[in-house]
Amino acid sequence: MTGGRRVIGFDPGLRVTGWGIVDARSGRLSHVANGELKPDPTAEIADRLSELFNGVTQVIEEFAPDMAAVEEVFVHRSPAAALKLGMARGMALVAAANARLPVTEYAPRSVKKALVGGGGADKAQVQYMVRILLPGCNPAGPDAADALAVAVAHAHGMPFAAMSG
């Protein structure tokens, strides 16, 4: 892509990993693609991670982004839940690193603040702003919308990258 950059954003999870791709060119953003990877919920964790890794790798190969942005783990339930989210996040980081993409990580509150103006925004508010910022975009679901939000925040060069919320 001449004069711009293609960013892939990830909202990693073991049940659903959202991904979203935007092109940033001349100060404008455009939606490229988005989706949600949903491994078999009855499979062992290692098998789900493998399925997610293969899916993420395929998306990266298909859309050839220039850089990746990954949402950090948000600890809200239990240490076990955080550990599982961390595994999914690691999968996304390794897939991006294997594709030789520079990777930036963002705290969920920072992404919400960048898009909505407040770190406590809910998923509906994030989805609304993604649709406003990317006209014609129809996110595949809430995790895809979150992934697009991460990509948009990165494409806009968030000055508080990787800050905790």
Residue positions annotated with a catalytic role: 11, 71, 143
**Two structure tokens written together for 14:** 């073991």
Ranges of H-type helices in 9-141: 45-63, 79-98, 108-116, 123-133
Phi, psi (degrees; rounded to nearest 5) at 33: -165, 165
Specify whether the CB–CB gap between 126 and 71 falls below 8 A: no
Nearest to 150 by CA among 68, 52, 35: 68
Cite the beta strand spans of 41-163 per DSSP E: 67-71, 103-106
Q: In angstroms, rounded to a whole number, what is the distance separating the alpha carbons of residues 51 and 58?
A: 11
* The dihedral formed by the CA atoms of 57, 115, 26 and 1, expressed in degrees to the nearest 10: 0
| Residue found by looking up tokens 């508080």 in the block | 160
